[in-house]
């Protein structure tokens, strides 16, 4: 047993933490609600510097052109992003987009991964649909072969980072029915293609997403990622990696919320003394710290089992996200409550951090869905 970070990961953590702290103001500016000037949803300059720092490369294996890419590399990076409240779309462009191209792409398509690692290219996965909720197999968008062309039509929901993306990775069904694993294909499509209409909006927790309408989007065989109807395993794999990253990001945000709350309890005076001197509040703070350690262990379990057997992996990842869903809600709500009104204001950093924590539960499966997946695995 060894719970220390390797030297490389420690260096990555230190340099990323320092960089994010030094750029706190720019990071915060792009997370504020109603920031209409920022149609990207994040800070382009910071994105470039993250690439320079090697943060994007750390999310890919050497084989794919990066230099790390294991579970603990993902958690090291995302914990720091979460702690800083960063909304830069590493999850969407690198883990999901880059990960899928690396897994399924032709040599020509794979050339894009290098551009992702260099910070020159953005990607977005357009997979979820209005009726799919968190089920990966509920794909109703259709892909129909018509001579040399493939026609896509359907509607994709809440595609994060779609407006900023140079390419969208769009899932569509070539055979079978909604709910089947077989028959799902992925297509790599320039975002500005005719037949693709985006309706963009900001997200409550920062960043941007879009509804993607596909109306007779005409593609060729060369636009497909991998074999026809066989994309599900790679899709599942990429989303699983994204879930580990998201769990770590939420853990980082929980750490930040807990720390802000601890500081506030020590400084805020009411009834002539710091409110942290009241035992009722001390106990609640203690509970948060206990839950935070539980969350940290759950993330370690998930990252450590990313390459385990399918059952083991699924158990630990659903367990981590279920636990983080529960503990995260507690930390977010209690941090706000222990602060009082100040934490309700958009200006105070905790408001943004609390939103990151709670809204993470709405990606790839909420607390209940994770419980259901855990039960599916433990019954299997």
Partner 1 sequence: MDLNYSVEEQAFRAEVREFLAQKLPKEMSDAIRVGRELGKEGHDQWHAILNEQGWLAPNWPKEFGGCEWNAVQRHIFEEECCRANAPRIVPFGLSMLAPVLQKFGSKQQQDHYLPRILSGEDWWCQGYSEPGAGSDLASLKTRAVREGDHYVVNGQKTWTTLGQYANWIFCLVRTDPEAKQQSGISFLLIDMDTPGIEVRPIILLDGTHEVNEVWFTDVKVPVENLVGEENKGWTYAKYLLTHERTNIAGVGFSQAGLEAVKRMARSQMHRGRPLIENSHFAARVARAEIDLMAMSTTNLRIISRAASGQAPGVESSMLKVKGTEIRQEINDLARRAAGAYAMPFVSEALEGGNEPDMGPEGAAAAAPQYFNYRKLSIFGGSNEIQKNIIAKVKLGGGA
Q: Is residue 60 helix, strand or coil?
A: coil
CB of 43 to partner 1, least distance (A): 18
Binding part of the chain for partner 1, among 23-31, 47-55, 142-150, 367-375 by CB under 8 A, reads 367-375
- 16 alpha carbon, distance to own chain's centre: 18
Instruction: Judge contact between 142 and 177, C-beta under 8 A.
Output: no
Instruction: Examine residue 178 and tell whether it contacts partner 1 (CB under 8 A).
Output: yes
- Choice from 175, 267, 294, 337 touching partner 1 (CB under 8 A): 337
Residues in Cβ contact with 130 at an 8 Å cutoff, skipping those fewer than 6 apart: 155, 157
Task: Based on the shown chain and the rule CB under 8 A, indicate whether residue 204 belongs to the binding site for partner 1.
Answer: yes
List 5, 53, 151, 203, residue binding partner 1 (CB under 8 A): 203
CB nearer partner 1, residue 67 or residue 134: 134
Whether the CB-CB separation of 142 and 109 falls below 8 Å is answered with no
* Burial of 34: CB neighbours in 10 Å, binned 0-12, 13-18, 19+: exposed
DSSP 20: H
Distance of closest approach, residue 135 Cβ to partner 1, in angstroms: 5
Q: Could you tell me which residues are beta bridge partners of residue 144?
A: 151
One of 5, 151, 157, 308 touching partner 1 (CB under 8 A): 157
Nearer to partner 1, 135 or 259 (CB): 135
Q: Quick one: 203 or 230, whose CB is closer to partner 1?
A: 203
Instruction: Find the binding residues for partner 1 in span 264-293 (CB under 8 A).
Output: 269-272, 280-281
Distance CA 126, CA 155 (A): 9
Q: Minimal distance in Å, beta carbon 329 to partner 1? A: 8
CB atoms within 10 A of CB 274: 15
Q: How far, in Å, CA of 144 to CA of 158, rounded?
A: 24
- Which two structure tokens, joined as six digits, stand for 246? 């998201």
Q: Are strands 123-126 and 167-173 parallel, antiparallel or unpaired?
A: parallel
**Among 148, 347, 379, 380, interactor with partner 1 by CB under 8 A:** 347
Instruction: Dump the DSSP string for 287-326.
Output: HHHHHHHHHHHHHHHHHHTTTS-HHHHHHHHHHHHHHHHH
Does residue 5 belong to the site contacting partner 1 (CB under 8 A)? no
Residue numbers 127-146 binding partner 1 by CB under 8 A: 128, 130-135, 138
CB closer to partner 1 out of 75 and 335? 335
What is the token pair recorded at 155?
């509607």
Nearer to partner 1, 288 or 300 (CB): 288
> Shortest gap between Cβ of 359 and partner 1 (angstroms)?
6
CB nearer partner 1, residue 29 or residue 222: 29
Greatest alpha-carbon span in the chain: 80
Residue 182 in the binding site for partner 1 (CB under 8 A): no
Residue 201 sits in the site that holds partner 1 (CB under 8 A): yes
Q: How far is the CB of 87 from partner 1 (least distance, A)?
A: 12
Phi (first) and psi of residue 365, to 5 degrees? 120, 120
3-state class (DSSP) for residue 34: coil
Binding region for partner 1 (CB under 8 A): 33-34, 128, 130-135, 138, 157-158, 178-179, 201-205, 209, 211, 269-272, 280-281, 329, 333, 336-337, 340-341, 343-347, 351-352, 354-355, 358-359, 361-363, 366-369, 371-372
């Amino acid at each position: 047993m060894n719970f220390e970070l390797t030297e490389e990961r420690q260096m990555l953590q230190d340099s990323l933490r320092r960089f994010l702290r030094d750029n706190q103001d720019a990071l915060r500016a792009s997370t504020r609600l109603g920031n209409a000037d920022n149609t990207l949803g994040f800070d382009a300059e910071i994105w470039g510097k993250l690439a320079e720092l090697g943060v994007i490369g750390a999310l890919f294996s050497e084989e794919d052109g990066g230099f790390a890419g294991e579970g603990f590399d993902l958690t090291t990076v995302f914990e720091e992003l979460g702690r800083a409240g960063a909304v830069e779309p590493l999850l969407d462009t690198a883990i999901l987009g880059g990960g899928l191209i690396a897994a399924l792409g032709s040599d020509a398509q794979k050339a894009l991964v290098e551009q992702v690692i260099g910070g020159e290219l953005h990607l977005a996965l357009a997979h979820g649909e209005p009726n799919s909720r968190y089920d990966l197999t509920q794909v109703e968008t259709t892909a129909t072969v018509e001579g040399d062309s493939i026609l896509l039509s359907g509607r994709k929901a809440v595609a994060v980072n779609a407006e900023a993306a140079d390419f969208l990775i769009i899932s569509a069904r070539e055979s079978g029915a909604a709910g089947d694993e077989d028959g799902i294909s992925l297509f790599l499509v320039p975002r500005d293609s005719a037949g693709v209409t985006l309706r963009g909006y900001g997200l409550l927790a920062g960043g941007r997403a879009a509804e993607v309408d596909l109306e007779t989007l005409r593609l060729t065989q060369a636009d497909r990622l991998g074999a026809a109807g066989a994309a599900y395993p790679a899709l599942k794999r990429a989303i699983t990696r994204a879930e580990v990253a998201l769990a770590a990001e939420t853990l980082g945000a929980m750490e930040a919320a807990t720390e802000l709350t601890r500081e506030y309890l020590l400084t805020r005076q009411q009834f002539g003394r710091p409110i942290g001197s009241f035992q009722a509040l001390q106990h609640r703070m203690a509970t948060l710290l206990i839950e935070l350690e539980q969350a940290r262990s759950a993330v370690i379990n998930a990252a450590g089992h990313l390459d385990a057997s399918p059952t083991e992996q699924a158990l630990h990842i659903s367990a981590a996200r279920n636990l983080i869903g529960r503990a995260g809600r507690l930390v977010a709500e209690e941090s706000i409550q222990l602060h009082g009104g100040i934490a309700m204001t958009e200006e105070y950093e905790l408001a943004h951090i609390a939103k990151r924590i709670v809204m993470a539960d709405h990606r790839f499966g909420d607390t209940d869905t994770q419980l259901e997946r855990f039960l599916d695995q433990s019954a299997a």
